[in-house]
Amino acid sequence: AQSVSQHNHHVILSEAASLELGCNYSYGGTVNLFWYVQYPGQHLQLLLKYFSGDPLVKGIKGFEAEFIKSKFSFNLRKPSVQWSDTAEYFCAVMTYNQGGKLIFGQGTELSVKP
């Protein structure tokens, strides 16, 4: 069965620090890849997605992610975090043999200290 693994359960950073959240998936076929974010008290919202083309994708609020097919990875990065980035981040995979179903990782909680 397909699965998504996020390397860190909880990350604590100071403002202006750089961020990298790891995400690996297990599936050998064509995939769409997503990062969703859930700010405290708010619903899940799309941060960025990859479906084809340039493996480096840029999202909202200065986030970017790189798809490395050979490593089955889709890591999320931001060069300088802000206190307002405090949230839970979910990596998700959509495979074409499962009719649009999103498979989520377990999430990474990011806490940014002011």
Partner 1 sequence: EAEVAQSPRYKITEKSQAVAFWCDPISGHATLYWYRQILGQGPELLVQFQDESVVDDSQLPKDRFSAERLKGVDSTLKIQPAELGDSAMYLCASSSQGIAVGETQYFGPGTRLLVL
The reply to whether 111 sits near partner 1 by the rule CB under 8 A is no
Q: Write the CB contacts of 73 (distance below 8 Å, at least 6 apart in sequence).
A: 22, 23, 24, 25, 66, 67
C-alpha Rg value of the chain to the nearest Å: 14
Q: Report if residue 98 touches partner 1, rule: CB under 8 A.
A: yes
In the complex with partner 1, the residue whose CB is nearer, 38 or 86, is: 38
Q: Which of 2, 11, 49, 66 forms a contact with partner 1 (CB under 8 A)?
A: 49
Going from the C-alpha of 96 to that of each of 19, 38, 100, the distances in angstroms are: 30, 25, 7
Instruction: Return d(Cα 24, Cα 22) in angstroms, integer.
Output: 7
Q: Determine, following the binding rule CB under 8 A, whether residue 32 of this chain makes contact with partner 1.
A: yes
86 binds partner 1 (CB under 8 A): no
Contacts with partner 1 by CB under 8 A lie at: 4, 32, 34, 36, 42-46, 49, 51-52, 90, 92, 94, 96, 98-102, 104-107
